Structure 1
Amino acid sequence: MAQLLLQFPSFLASLAIVAVLAQLLFPGMGWLAGLIWLASGAMTFHRPTERALARHLLNLRHPSPRELSRLEPLWRAVTARTGVEGRAYELWIEDSDHLNALAAAGHIVGVTRFSLEHLSDGQLAAVLAHELGHHVRGHAWSSLLGQWYAVPGRLVWAGVRKLIRLVTFIGRGRMGFWAAVLLLVTGIAVLLVALEYWFVILTLATAPYLLAAVTRRAEVRADHHAAAAGFGPMLAEVLHMMQAADQESGLVKDSALSGCGETAAMGTRTPTRARTEGFLGKLLSTHPDYHTRLHHLAPYLKQR
């Protein structure tokens, strides 16, 4: 719920964009376009839509009979321990050579081929329990809705950035004077809007940092969900494996097992990327470091 609240400003901005564009294209129909766009959020929980997103945007596939014979017994054991109806979710595979997993949309749980081939039964069950925790605690669907409703705003922002690059590029040519005038007028317009709606700008500027903090907390809670079901030691083993792999490669793998965040499409997956340096980079990180996660798992390990 906190994720949705923090994404509310971007949602309002996107709603205004949809309404204004519809009003320009179809006068008098702006309110109807806004209602249709709001209702479109329900499509993200439509099973065929979820499968299309998983297949085409997350690059997932259905498991082979052999893979399913390995996953299904573990999944039944995990859901039985947590008291969750396992048939409500679908198991998918990502053809990746990284240790990873993800909880996507409303009912998708995916693991990489590498995880399936290299983790023991207990470790793989711990990974599945972590991803189930994201679903049970609402992290997956809230992230999905937040990203879905932010799409118009992101598209417009991307268009503005491209326009600025175009003006800058033109400014290097023969039309430098007129490009400078256009850039100056655009800058003044943006400044006036920012001064008029400073509270909106401030909210949009601070929301990513607050959202990243909430997302990091969601990862710890998903870990707790797995540990409370008895998978704490196995989950700690997986985290140690991921930490060792990162130290060897010199990269930080912001894995989907590590939670929800900047997804390639919808869901709780973040692709591998280079280490982000600096204080602001740490504040924007959507995943706790391994030391933090292992620290929160320590009580469950002591109980054992």
Structure 2
Amino acid sequence: MAPLGARAVYGYREPTAEERARVEMPWREVQRRAGGGVYRLLVVESNELNACAPFGRTVAVTSHAARSLPPARLAGVLAHELGHSLGWRAGPAFVRVQVTVPGRALAWTLRTPWSLVVSLWKRAVAWHRPIGFLGVFLMALVAMAVTVVVVVPALVARVVLMAGRMVAGRPESRADAAAVRMGLGADLVAAVEHHIDGTDPAKRMPLPLIRRAEGLRRRLG
């Protein structure tokens, strides 16, 4: 099972039965093409296309990719994720993840008490009893106290996150190049472009993804 710390801070978990059934064949094909031994596959809850690089001989895929992509495109995405952990790329990817741990830990610390406040509020509204609203008030006080305590660490974490981006260099481009070398570049660019097309028009255009698609097209000639 995924370690408790990884589940809390990184957001990783074991694939569900449905996800495992969808990723099994593409993942097996990617590992065969890579020829780099056996890697463990975990899932991170996210609506994004790609997950961040995890630790050791472990590869992460987002729940969005695992649940929605057809097999060929899923294989392209998995090849990209595995590309973060192949050879010398594993070192920078691991450093980047560890440098950004404080930011993720603080985000989880803030999210947990406020999610409890929301949950208690829904129950209080359903119960229509004063004791329920009292519980919401007390939990909100706790959440506010936690928020105040982590304000300064949050600022430090922001600086650490910026440093992590500097350490990262061009990890996405290198991982894309690995997918191309495995012969899955066309499937990866199809997944990237489909994700771009599915972006909510009201949101800002995903320029990093657009640049990735352009870079992949150049690599494919």
Class of the TM-score when normalised by the shorter of the 2 chains: 0.5 to 0.7
Structure 1 match to 2:74: 124
* 1:123 maps to amino acid: R
Note the C-alpha offset of 1:221. Answer: 0.6
Aligned with residue 75 of structure 1, among 23, 27, 30: 27
Q: Distance in 1 between matches of 2:81 and 2:97?
A: 15
Structure 1 match to 2:41: 91
Structure 1 match to 2:188: 235
Note the C-alpha offset of 1:72. Answer: 2.2
Note the C-alpha offset of 1:134. Answer: 0.9
Note the C-alpha offset of 1:162. Answer: 4.5
Indicate if the aligned counterparts of 1:106 and 1:140 stay in contact, CA closer than 8 A: no
Structure 2 match to 1:176: none
**Matched residue of 2:198: which SS?**
helix
Q: Percent identity?
A: 29
**Matched residue of 1:57: which SS?**
helix
Structure 1 match to 2:53: 103
Indicate if the aligned counterparts of 2:100 and 2:161 stay in contact, CA closer than 8 A: no
Q: For residues 86-125 of structure 1, what are the alpha-carbon distances to aligned partners after superposition, in whole Å with 9 as ceiling and x for unaligned?
A: 2xx2222234444443421223322233222221111101
Q: Structure 1 pair 73/251, CA: closer, same or farther in 2 (3 Å)?
A: same
* 1:85 maps to amino acid: G
Indicate if the aligned counterparts of 1:130 and 1:225 stay in contact, CA closer than 8 A: yes
Structure 1 match to 2:93: 140
* 1:144 maps to amino acid: V
Structure 2 match to 1:297: 216
Structure 2 match to 1:217: 170
Q: Distance in 2 between matches of 1:211 and 1:230?
A: 30
Note the C-alpha offset of 1:73. Answer: 2.0
- Segments of structure 2 that go 5 or more residues without pairing to the other structure are 105-147, 154-158
* 1:250 maps to amino acid: K
**Matched residue of 1:135: which SS?**
coil
Note the C-alpha offset of 1:68. Answer: 1.7
Q: Distance in 1 between matches of 2:63 and 2:162?
A: 33
Structure 1 match to 2:201: 248
Q: For residues 238-280 of structure 1, what are the alpha-carbon distances to aligned partners after superposition, in whole Å with 9 as ceiling and x for unaligned?
A: 1112222335241466xxxxxxxxxxxxxxxxxxxxxxxxxxx
Note the C-alpha offset of 1:301. Answer: 2.5
Q: Distance in 2 between matches of 1:208 and 1:54?
A: 18
The 5-angstrom pairing of residues 1-304 of structure 1 reads 51-86=3-38, 89-136=39-86, 137-138=89-90, 139-147=92-100, 162=152, 212-213=165-166, 215-246=168-199, 248-251=201-204, 289-302=208-221
After TM superposition, the score normalised by the length of structure 2 is 0.62
Q: Distance in 2 between matches of 1:103 and 1:210?
A: 16
Q: For residues 117-160 of structure 1, what are the alpha-carbon distances to aligned partners after superposition, in whole Å with 9 as ceiling and x for unaligned?
A: 22111110111111111111113322234346999xxxxxx979
Indicate if the aligned counterparts of 1:228 and 1:300 stay in contact, CA closer than 8 A: no
Q: Distance in 1 between matches of 2:170 and 2:202?
A: 26
**Matched residue of 1:72: which SS?**
helix
After TM superposition, the score normalised by the length of structure 1 is 0.47
RMSD: 3.4
Q: Structure 1 pair 226/161, CA: closer, same or farther in 2 (3 Å)?
A: same
- Segments of structure 1 that go 5 or more residues without pairing to the other structure are 1-47, 152-157, 164-204, 254-287
Q: Structure 1 pair 212/112, CA: closer, same or farther in 2 (3 Å)?
A: closer
Indicate if the aligned counterparts of 1:74 and 1:121 stay in contact, CA closer than 8 A: yes
Indicate if the aligned counterparts of 2:96 and 2:167 stay in contact, CA closer than 8 A: no
